[in-house]
């Protein structure tokens, strides 16, 4: 729907809509990671020409709020942790927000930032697991949680069968094979190309915030909560956005922007982050560690697995433990078919690292990394075929999660076909034979990884979506949703769904792409690969309702025509003959002198089901051992995401996801200076996303199944491709070199250390 406007530059993004000139807001970030701001001298800054005002952590409302893009919960125990103010005197991470400037332009604002003098009481930073969990007096970052533990979970499965009483017995059984591993995943950054940007103004005593977000309705709530004003006092507008990848599933600087706007009498104020700030002052993937212990038998069966995960959340809770919970749950779920018991533990803790948050696939790539390091090593150690071993233990149709509230189950069986096709495409058997006995500096390797990913967040959390449709006079339909287009093609797919539900051509659906919380129906927004599944359910429901109303009205117009249906924009009788055009029905409904009735439908769908999407990735690569360099030769990925709504946009989503996963595999990580807590590489030169020169043609395929729980047999896809490529690369490097890597990304430096350790160089 939006391709033409985006390609021609006609599509409007947040900054395009900002009235210029406007006032510019800039944030002063702390230059320490741990401590307290004792004083801020703004007198020099205020004298600078063009500066309108300077506000500090001592001026903001004494209100703590949470920022995670989760639906609100009316149960207090399920609410996100409320642990930050608009600006904070207690500095919890390097780059914490401690003051803000509003000026006539960004040059004046930048000059003012440089002129502000800050005095700190500085404490040593607690950056790693050890120091953060033994904080001492100065390491206590939030008085509500003196031990820095945000949450701890421990899930022990039932022990299946009669042979063992506990998982500990299995893990001690000398008749089984045993393996332990320590693996780690990096602080990856979302790297959306549009910065985090918003602008605010006041009208009629209310605040309007136009922002680049995935979650406009949640932004409205959190601005209101942070400022202590009524939710209805806030209007949030979300135009087209240039990517989010989870970073914009958090409420970042919108509340501060709104508050600053109120301080300057409601004049338009823009707050646009620099690329560097996007890296260090927003969110990133949580760095995590996994200690895994497993037992398996001689017949390629896992018997038990135990995983202990730690997640370094940084200064503020944001999404908190939900992320690592997803990691360990996915670890557990994918390969749970044969094992007799499993146990997963996860701890999320505060530290003086920068704040982590949501990123595409929300913890699952990390858990999958740990799960696949384990599967890869076992297959390698035993000489088993990696596909056979994985499939023997992998999720099949009928699997139901033991712990998840409601029913979280596997309803389709496309995974095996995915692996079959992937093997054929990449030439698995031939390549494995060809690469079996290599020597010398240049070596080739082939690898595989599987994944599972649940769809949306029901029934652990709320899943609700609303839609509104109005029949226009010409027979076309206006559709308005709370669900958001974030570049993933949601508007296109919702239009297709609505057209099918109503019975009209897709081109007749006019979707209102921009959300305005004053008028858009409620939807939590774009995350959790939820929208085609949950919002799609609402679209189908409302579309069918509108179709029925149209047919009922047509009956009024042609009471003798018998059974009528709306097919492809025409009212037809039982024989399929056109009785009325839809335009005729629409015109009459608007302008009838007997019964004028605008035809519209509006409703809410609450979804309580949940289903797994599955798939696999194959990687063929070349390792230049002396130069410690990996060249990707082929990447093939297959997905069972149920029915595919739009093959072309689906394929593009998979390409983008693979690229992000390959980034996690080989090059992407934000590095923290161990002395100061400062991010060392907050720019696009030193934070290495793969370029077109680094990627082969990415090959995406789909095994279409029909998922009975989805509105059109569909389920999650958007985040899935971000999961398996990284561990598949790891598996291929193992195949090529025999060297086992456990820490992503496998940078040249880490490859060097590994090859050196194993005597390859």
Which stretches of the chain bind another protein, using CB under 8 A? Answer: 105-107, 110-111, 114, 626-628, 667, 671, 673, 680-681, 684-686, 688, 690-694, 747-749, 752-753, 756, 761
Cβ of residue 134: shortest distance to another protein, in angstroms? 26
- The label of the residue with tokens 């739009």 reads 646
Closest CA to 218 of 187, 249, 191: 249
Cα Rg, the chain, nearest whole Å: 27
Q: How far is the CB of 669 from another protein (least distance, A)?
A: 11
Q: Judged by CB, which is closer to another protein: 421, or 443?
A: 443
608 or 756, CB closer to another protein? 756
Burial (Cβ within 10 Å: 0-12, 13-18, ≥19) of residue 478: middle
Q: State which residue, 268 or 718, has the beta carbon closest to another protein.
A: 268
319, 358 Cβ separation under 8 angstroms: yes
Q: In terms of CB distance, is 186 or 363 closer to another protein? A: 186
CB of 254 to another protein, least distance (A): 23
CA gap 535, 539 in Å, rounded? 6
C-alpha distance from residue 400 to each of 49, 301, 408, 454, 499 (Å): 65, 19, 6, 12, 34
Comparing CB distances to another protein, the nearer of 105 and 474 is: 105
Min dist. Cβ of residue 626 to another protein (A):
4
Q: What contacts 526, CB < 8 A, 6 or more positions away?
A: 214, 215, 244, 249, 483, 484, 485, 486, 488, 490
> In the complex, what is the shortest distance from the CB of residue 480 to another protein, in angstroms, rounded to a whole number?
37
DSSP secondary structure letters along 130-155: HHHHS-TTTT---TT-TT-EEEEEEE
Residue for token pair 């990913």:
453
Closer Cβ to another protein, 134 or 756, answer by number: 756
Q: Which DSSP string corresponds to 78-104?
A: GSPP--B-SS-SEE-STT-EEEEEEES
State the Cα–Cα distance between residues 57 and 62, nearest whole angstrom: 10
Nearest distance, CB of residue 680 and another protein, angstroms: 5
Cβ proximity to another protein, 569 vs 677, nearer residue: 677
In the bound state with another protein, the residue whose beta carbon lies nearer, of 557 and 671, is 671
Of the pair 598, 683, the CB lying nearest another protein is at 683
Distance CA 365, CA 451 (A): 9
Sign of the CA dihedral with 455 first, then 459, 460, and 461 last: positive
**Between the CA of residue 268 and those of 21, 28, 208, 607, what are the distances in Å?**
9, 20, 9, 39
Least distance (Å) from another protein to the CB of residue 128? 16
- In the complex, least distance from residue 693 CB atom to another protein, rounded to whole angstroms: 4
Q: In the bound complex, what is the minimum distance in angstroms from residue 666's beta carbon to another protein?
A: 8
Determine if the peptide bond prior to 745 is cis (ω within 30°). Answer: yes
Q: Which two tokens stand for residue 358?
A: 């949501």
Shortest Cβ distance from residue 487 to another protein (Å)?
22
Question: For residues 536 and 456, is the Cβ–Cβ distance under 8 A?
Answer: no
Q: Which is nearer to another protein, 596 or 627 (CB)?
A: 627
């Amino acid at each position: 729907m939006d391709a033409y406007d985006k390609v021609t530059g006609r599509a409007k993004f947040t900054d395009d809509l900002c009235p210029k000139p406007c006032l510019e807001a800039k944030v002063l970030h702390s230059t320490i990671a741990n401590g307290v701001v004792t004083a801020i001298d703004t007198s020099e800054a205020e004298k600078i020409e063009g500066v309108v005002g300077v506000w500090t952590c001592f001026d903001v409302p004494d209100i703590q709020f949470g920022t995670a893009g989760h639906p609100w919960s009316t149960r207090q125990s399920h609410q996100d942790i409320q642990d930050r103010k608009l600006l904070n005197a207690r500095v919890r991470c390097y780059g914490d927000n401690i003051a803000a400037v509003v000026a006539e332009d960004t040059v004046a604002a930048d000059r003012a930032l440089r002129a502000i003098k800050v005095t700190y009481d500085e404490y040593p930073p607690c950056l790693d697991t050890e120091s953060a969990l033994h904080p001492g007096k100065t390491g206590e970052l939030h008085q509500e949680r003196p031990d820095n533990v945000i949450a701890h979970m421990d899930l022990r499965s039932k022990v299946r069968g009669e042979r063992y009483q506990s998982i500990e017995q299995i893990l001690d059984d000398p008749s089984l094979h045993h393996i332990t591993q320590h693996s780690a995943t990096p602080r990856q950054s979302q790297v959306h190309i549009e910065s985090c940007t918003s602008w605010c103004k006041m009208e009629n005593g209310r605040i309007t915030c136009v922002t680049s977000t995935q979650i406009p309705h949640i932004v409205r709530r959190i601005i209101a909560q942070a400022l202590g004003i009524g939710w209805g006092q806030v209007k949030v507008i979300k135009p087209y956005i240039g990517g989010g990848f989870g970073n914009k599933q958090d409420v970042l600087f919108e509340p501060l922007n709104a508050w600053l706007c109120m301080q300057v009498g409601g004049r338009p104020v823009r707050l646009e982050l620099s690329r560097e700030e996007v890296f260090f002052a927003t969110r990133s993937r949580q760095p995590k560690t996994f200690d895994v212990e497993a037992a398996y038998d001689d017949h390629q069966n896992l018997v038990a697995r135990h995983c202990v995960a730690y997640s370094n959340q940084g200064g503020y809770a944001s999404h908190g433990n939900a992320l690592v919970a997803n990691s360990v749950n996915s670890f557990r779920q994918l390969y749970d078919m044969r094992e007799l018991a499993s146990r997963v533990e996860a701890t999320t803790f505060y530290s003086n690292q920068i704040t982590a948050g949501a990123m595409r696939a929300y913890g699952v790539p990390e858990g999958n990394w740990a799960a696949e390091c384990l599967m890869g090593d076992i297959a390698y150690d035993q000489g088993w075929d990696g596909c056979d071993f994985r499939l023997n233990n992998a999720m099949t149709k009928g699997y139901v999660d033991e712990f998840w509230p409601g029913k979280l189950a596997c309803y389709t069986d496309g995974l095996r076909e995915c692996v079959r096709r992937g093997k054929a495409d990449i030439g698995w058997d031939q390549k494995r034979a060809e690469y079996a006995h290599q020597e010398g500096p240049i070596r080739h390797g082939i690898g595989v990884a599987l994944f599972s990913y649940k769809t949306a967040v029901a029934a652990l959390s709320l899943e609700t979506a609303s839609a509104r449709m109005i029949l226009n006079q010409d027979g076309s339909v206006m559709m308005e949703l709370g669900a958001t287009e974030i570049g993933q093609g949601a508007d296109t797919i919702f239009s297709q769904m609505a057209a099918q539900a109503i019975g009209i051509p897709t081109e007749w659906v006019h979707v209102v792409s921009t959300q305005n919380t004053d008028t858009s129906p409620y939807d939590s927004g774009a995350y959790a690969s939820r929208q085609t599944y949950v919002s799609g359910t609402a679209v189908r429901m409302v579309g069918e309702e509108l179709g029925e109303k149209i047919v009922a009205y047509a009956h009024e117009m042609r009471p003798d025509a018998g059974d009528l249906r709306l097919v492809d924009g025409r009212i037809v009788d039982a024989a399929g003959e056109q009785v009325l055009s839809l335009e005729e029905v629409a015109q009459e409904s608007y302008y009838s002198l007997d019964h004028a009735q605008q035809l519209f439908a509006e409703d809410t769908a609450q979804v309580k089901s949940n289903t797994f999407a599955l798939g696999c990735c194959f990687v063929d690569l070349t390792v230049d051992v002396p130069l410690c360099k990996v060249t990707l030769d082929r990447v093939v990925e297959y997905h069972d995401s149920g029915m595919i709504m739009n093959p072309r946009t689906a394929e593009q989503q998979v390409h983008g996801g693979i690229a992000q996963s390959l980034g996690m595999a080989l090059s992407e990580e934000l590095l923290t200076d161990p002395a100061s807590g400062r991010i060392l590489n907050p720019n696009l030169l030193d934070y290495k996303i793969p370029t077109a020169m680094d990627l082969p043609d990415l090959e995406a395929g789909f095994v279409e199944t029909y998922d009975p729980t989805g509105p059109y047999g569909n389920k999650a896809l958007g985040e899935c491709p971000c999961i398996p490529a990284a561990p598949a690369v790891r598996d291929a490097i193992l195949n090529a070199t025999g060297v086992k890597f456990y820490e992503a990304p496998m940078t040249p430096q880490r490859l060097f250390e590994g090859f050196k350790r194993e005597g390859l160089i």
